[in-house]
Amino acid sequence: MARVHSFAELWTAGHPVRGRVLRYSAYLILLVIFVAGARHMRLPVERLPDGIREIFVIVGQRMFPPDLGYVAKNLVAPFIETFAMAFAGTVLGIVISVPIAWFAAANMTPSPGILYPLVRGFLVVARSIHEIIWAMLLVACLGFGPLAGMIVLTIDFIGFGSKLLAESIESADMKPVEAIRAAGGNRLRQMVLGVFPQVAPVWIGIFVYGWDIVLRASFVLGLVGAGGVGAQLQASVESLAYDRLGAILLIIIAIVSISEVVSAHLRKRVS
């Protein structure tokens, strides 16, 4: 099947001058957009030196030494709650994302005319709305606490996880699927026997990557009352208790670093 060439390839074929004109025109357009955006935002660049100096003062003087005793006495339960929300959100996200990815894959969806556009639309909505906004909406509906946070993290995982899973299905080799179809296998058999063995390593990598994203997101949901350690973060900032804030941030960095090491090990095992 002949390859379809883009307009840029056709216009510049055999004409290096046209290629340079097109390239530099694109650079010029990007520069104009950047300058226009900067002028529209009216960035107070003159505040940068004082702002950078204040950051060093806060981090270098007010956050240290961190109040680790406050964390040990008051924040063990919130950190456990945060971890539990992230774990539950990831597990539920995986369970829900797998069938959604099947429905959202153009080459394997059971219903191209109904399920495919509906599921794709849902994924667009899930990815378009930030988790903080989801948390605000769900806290208003469900009240304060980890239930809203767990649902938010599940939606967060589904939004990007299902899209990546569906794209891996669409890139799978369809020859095994066609063989199963020719033998009379239904859609489920085609998916389980023809596609899943091909995409399983990629899916495991996506699941591990999703856990990283959900864990990081879980630390800030408490800012709007969705459970976890975010409420203590906000309280420390509002009360100017930077030593407590420094301790909380150190614990978060340590947890994320450990998670990163474990995730990298798992990705190597499945690659």
Q: What is the pLDDT of residues 59-108, one digit of tens each?
A: 777 777 877 887 788 888 888 888 899 999 999 999 999 999 999 988 88
Q: Write out the two tokens for 149.
A: 């946070």
Specify if 2 maps to a domain. Answer: no
| Cα separation, 160 vs 168, whole angstroms | 13
| Cα separation, 89 vs 116, whole angstroms | 24
Specify if 179 maps to a domain. Answer: yes
Indicate the residue type of 266. L
**244 and 202 within one domain:** yes
Q: Write out the two tokens for 17.
A: 């001058």
> By the 8 A CB rule, do 228 and 221 touch?
yes
Q: What is the pLDDT of residues 195-242, one digit of tens each?
A: 888 888 889 888 988 898 898 888 888 888 777 787 888 888 788 888
Task: Look up the domain containing 46 and give its range.
Answer: 7-59
Specify if 55 maps to a domain. Answer: yes
The pTM of this model reads 0.79
CATH (domain of 224): 1.10.3720.10
Could you tell me the sign of the dihedral formed by the alpha carbons of 267, 268, 269, 271, in that order? positive
What is the average pLDDT score of the chain? 84
pLDDT for res 13: 54
pLDDT for res 1: 45
Please give the DSSP secondary-structure letter assigned to residue 228. Answer: S
**31 and 75 within one domain:** no
Provide, rounded to the nearest whole percent, the portion of the chain with pLDDT above 90: 21
**145 and 17 within one domain:** no
pLDDT-derived band at 5, boundaries 50, 70, 90:
low
| Cα separation, 140 vs 204, whole angstroms | 34
